[in-house]
Amino acid sequence: MFEIAMLVSSVCGVLVAAWLLWRAGKQGDLQALAGFAIMMAIWCFGHVALFQGYERVGIYIILANPLMPTFFLHFAICFVNSGPAKEEMLDRLHQAVPWFYTTSSVVVLQSWWMGAGDAISTLDTRLFFIFTEAGTWNLAYTVLIGILAHGVLLFGWYRHTGNRKRSILAMFGVGAWGLLLATSFVFPSFGISWFPYPMLLLPTYLLLLVYGVVRYQILSVNAFANRALLWVAMMLVILCLIAVISVVSGRVGLQALASVPSWQLWLYSLLMLMMSALIYQPLNRLISRVIYPGAVLNETVLETWSSQLKEAQDWPQLISIGERLLTSQVRQNIKITLENDQEEKKSGNNKNELSLRVFRTESAWHFSLVGWEDASPGMRLTADVFASLFSTSCGLLDRSLALAAAERKRLDEQHLVELGGLSAAMAHELRNPLNIIAMAAYDAPPETRQHIQTQLQRADRLVSDMLVYSGGLSLQISRTPLHALVMNVLAQAQLGAIKYEVLIDKSLELDVDPQRLQQVFINLIDNAVAFLRNQKDAKLSIDASVEKNQVIIQVHNNGPEIEPSLQEDTLFQPFITKRAGGSGLGLAIVRRIVDAHGGRIRHRSDTNWPVTFEIVLPQRKEEHDAK
């Protein structure tokens, strides 16, 4: 039994090392752990060699045991010192790792040269390893390196949190189990004649150690551990049942069954269990195809669906990917629609068309299959599984877009703060030289002085626009007649030959900040005048109406239409302009002022005018406050 246990440990060590090297990639910790597994496999094989009579080979292999804790120390240093924050002490230890390997190799060579190990006959004259007096240094060095490795893990337990801390805690528990098993290894060296029964369980140490390390890094290992634990539990249950059957069968008259040795019953049951494990998956697939014909669902399909749906960056892309995947799976054209709520999904249903409706409630995303009543059970199952996965992807994308929008808003606010500081500095630095230029131009010829004054006013306007857009916006609300405010702005505007009309009731009043609202009309009118000045039959019209306690103001002009490339959002963005000499802040300032009043502004192309800007403002102050 001992020989079998050592042989199983060797095979497990080789397989685990190969698996770790396959999954490690460039992870130094898993590579070092693979080295530890290989050394443990070699060490266990040394005991097998002794049992088979290869005394010198077995002793030399077992005396190489200092390399085993050295690999584990290397693993512990890499595992604990991973992550963005590096520890100086662990960095120095990591640099000293080659010296640890060199020292361990020297200890092994010295142990070979000094004859640090020997073999005694136990268990029917079979050989078992013991340390000689010269091997005390080998054993002490091995223990010291093991203590250092666990000291590094203890440091990591205090330093880390979360899954890495849980892994270290699991390693300490497994380490205690391994120490209990390996302690019996030195019994013969101290004259204790007990057979090292605990070492029969040594294969479990390596498996538990690796599982404790990778269970939070490689999630697929948890599925394997779940199946393995299930089969072990079933074997234990069978063992208990066989014991009960052996005791009870003779008393109930089943003498033939009672005469069968218990180990044979257990072996037969174990073989049946293994046969069941082998045929379970094929039978499961066969039965699924009988019950759900046409449905081909497995882990590969689900993983493909999940990975491709996660690639969607917006709603149209998610719908396109979903329709392609489901259509390919069921081999029929499928339409996927997103609804705002459950009531809307009832509208426009075509019973002859297979579709998937996904809608959102306050708590989560849900789905409904439309037109699938005549579909086969296999197709219906496929659609149900896909719809559940698709609705989950909708929730993930929804949260992702919300986070992206919040991040964009944060960056915009940060940009405004920076722009405000820059604008204040520019206003201070530019206005002083502008005043000096204005005074220096006082004695210039009238035509030159007028030209300089015009350009200085333009520069001052640019600075003022930047200050208005980037600075804090506070409102001084008062009752304001709209007609008088618009007429005052038109009186100051340089309209020239442009004809205008104002269709606003003189009794119409709003609770607004008159200075800020005046700035809105100045910017809109100046922007229109810039395009109308050289146009024949140029005309400007401003009208207002009241609907449901909201004032709708429209500013029309018959200038050139706004290019389609300037969409609604782009049009009101700062520094976007098609106007020669414009700052690109006029419409951005207008929207900011309107938003501050609790209103909204948009460009309309569905009126009888080429260009229309529509402003919607609350008429009463209490309504604005309520918003």
190 and 72, same structural domain? yes
Q: Where is the domain boundary, 385, 404, 423?
A: 404
- Provide the terminal-to-terminal Cα distance of the chain, rounded to the nearest Å: 81
pLDDT > 70? residue 253: no
250 and 329, same structural domain? no
DSSP assignment of 247-306 equals: HHTTTTT-HHHHHS-HHHHHHHHHHHHHHHHHHHHHHHHHHHHHHSTT----HHHHHHHH
pLDDT at 8: 79
111 and 86, same structural domain? yes
In a domain, 352, yes or no: yes
- The rounded mean pLDDT for the chain is 78
481 and 362, same structural domain? no
191 and 103, same structural domain? yes
In a domain, 417, yes or no: no
Q: Where is the domain boundary, 354, 388, 404?
A: 404
- Nearest alpha carbon to residue 16 among 173, 203, 145: 203
Q: How many helices (H) and strands (E) does the chain have?
A: 21, 12
In a domain, 357, yes or no: yes
Most confident region among 193-202, 368-377, 599-608 by mean pLDDT: 599-608
Domain enclosing residue 539, as ranges: 473-626
pLDDT > 80? residue 609: yes
> Span 99-118, mean pLDDT?
89
pLDDT > 80? residue 578: no
Bigger pLDDT: 52 or 566?
A: 52
In a domain, 413, yes or no: no
pLDDT at 59: 86
520 and 588, same structural domain? yes
> CA–CA separation, 298 vs 296, rounded Å?
7
The lowest-confidence range among 139-143, 215-219, 302-306, 545-549 is: 215-219
Digit-coded pLDDT (tens) for 580-602: 555 567 788 888 889 888 899 98
> CA–CA separation, 38 vs 449, rounded Å?
92
Q: What percent of the chain has pLDDT over 90?
A: 8
252 and 199, same structural domain? no
Bigger pLDDT: 207 or 187?
A: 207
> Alpha carbon 119 to chain centroid distance?
57
Under the banding of pLDDT at 50, 70 and 90, the label for residue 616 is very high
In a domain, 223, yes or no: no
Digit-coded pLDDT (tens) for 36-60: 888 888 888 888 888 787 888 888 8
In a domain, 598, yes or no: yes
> Span 165-183, mean pLDDT?
74
pLDDT > 60? residue 220: no
In a domain, 468, yes or no: no
> Span 9-19, mean pLDDT?
82
pLDDT at 189: 55
pLDDT at 576: 62
- Nearest alpha carbon to residue 568 among 616, 603, 593, 592: 603
Q: Where is the domain boundary, 373, 404, 435?
A: 404
Domain count, the chain: 4
Tokens of 423: 């604008």
Bigger pLDDT: 233 or 218?
A: 233
541 and 503, same structural domain? yes
258 and 175, same structural domain? no
Bigger pLDDT: 102 or 125?
A: 102
250 and 213, same structural domain? no
Strand-pairing partners, residue 512, are 478
pTM for the predicted model, two decimal places: 0.43
In a domain, 367, yes or no: yes
Under the banding of pLDDT at 50, 70 and 90, the label for residue 551 is very high
56 and 140, same structural domain? yes
pLDDT > 80? residue 293: no
172 and 31, same structural domain? yes
CATH code at 554? Answer: 3.30.565.10
> CA–CA separation, 417 vs 179, rounded Å?
62
